[in-house]
Structure 1
Amino acid sequence: MENNVLNGMDRVDPNLRDKMLAELFLNQVMNDFKRNKILEKVDHSLKNKDKEAFLSLTEELKSVS
């Protein structure tokens, strides 16, 4: 699918294309950051045997992934 998106972007104004790619990149970086922070908290909840926090964080992780 990404190939189709990139192929279609050849026909888009270069400035708009650059803006769209920058937004996609930024969104991916932000999602990766959020995911990593949640995973750190999951590890912490496991270490502390906090089942409630673990269950809550795994649900939150599903929405970010």
Structure 2
Amino acid sequence: NNTLNGMDRIDPNLRDEMLVELFLDQMVSDFKRSKILERIGYSLKSKDKEAFLRLTEELKSVP
């Protein structure tokens, strides 16, 4: 909330651009996370421990 309150003083066009960028960054992170989770599920089904460990590490690096 403090971030959005402070954005009232920023040029409206710049503010909109920043909000769109934040939104897109979040969408990309969510997409990456969901794809990795799908692959983790597959690794569990196929009992691929190596892939599971690699993917869980990869998941930790997604912002």
Bin for the TM-score computed over the shorter chain: over 0.9
- The aligned residue for residue 14 of structure 1 is 12
Choose from 54, 57, 61 the match for 2:59: 61
The unaligned stretches of length 5 or more in structure 2 are none
State TM-score, norm by structure 1: 0.95
Q: After the TM superposition, list the runs of 4 or more consecutive aligned residues in structure 1 that deviate by more than 6 angstroms.
A: none
The unaligned stretches of length 5 or more in structure 1 are none
1:10 partner letter: D
Q: Secondary structure at the match of 2:61?
A: helix
Choose from 27, 35, 38 the match for 1:37: 35
- The aligned residue for residue 51 of structure 1 is 49
Q: CA RMSD in A?
A: 0.6
Taking every aligned residue pair, what percent have the same amino acid on both sides? 75
State TM-score, norm by structure 2: 0.98
